[in-house]
Amino acid sequence: MGQLAQAHRDRLETGKQVLDIIVERGWVSAQEVAEIRAAYGIEAPPPAPVQAAREPSPETEFPPLATAARYTIAIRLTSGDLITAGETEGSDKAAALGHAVVADLTKEDGEWPFFGGRFINPETIISVDLLPEDSES
């Protein structure tokens, strides 16, 4: 369950498919995923198209698009520690990832959640913070 939760957090951060994430992390083999896709009729995503590089003409050159603000989702503890639970771009994705982290933290199965390479005593959690890139402190 922890791996699935992590894969979904990664999906929110990267936009990749969960099946691709679990292969990248080495939790299952590419062959196993291919068998699952075949068994359930799930098509593999098409490869990203390769675009030839070309020089833009001056009349069609546009200014660069503004990038979405980058956010760190952090768990704040009573000790003052901040444990990074994920990173993403854009406030909507940050809120969705924050909700996913809260859902992971509020499970009632008696197990301590695992984030940032450590198990966290639920009684020490104060908040889940969505920190814009310029205020991570």
Is residue 46 over pLDDT 70?
A: no
Whether 96 contacts 50, CB under 8 Å: no
Is residue 84 over pLDDT 80?
A: yes
Is residue 65 over pLDDT 50?
A: no
Q: What's the pLDDT score for residue 76? A: 92
Residue 44 in 3-state DSSP?
A: coil
Task: Tell me which DSSP letter residue 41 carries.
Answer: T
Is residue 121 over pLDDT 70?
A: yes
Q: What's the pLDDT score for residue 52? A: 54
Is residue 119 over pLDDT 70?
A: yes
Question: Which of the four pLDDT bands, split at 50, 70 and 90, describes residue 78?
Answer: very high
Q: What's the pLDDT score for residue 63? A: 53
Measured between alpha carbons, how far is 86 from 31 in angstroms, rounded to an integer?
Answer: 28
Is residue 81 over pLDDT 80?
A: yes
Is residue 111 over pLDDT 70?
A: yes
Token output for 123: 């009684």
**pLDDT tens digits, residue range 11-41?**
888 888 777 888 888 888 888 878 877 777 7
- Give how far Cα 137 sits from Cα of 28, 55, 59, 63, 89, Å: 36, 42, 44, 32, 18
**Torsion over CA: 8, 133, 113, 126 (sign):** negative
Q: What's the pLDDT score for residue 136? A: 46
Supply φ then ψ for residue 120, to 5 degrees. Answer: -115, 125
Helix (H) or strand (E) holding 35: helix 30-40
Specify whether the backbone of 26 is left (phi greater than 0), alpha (psi in -120 to 50) or beta: left
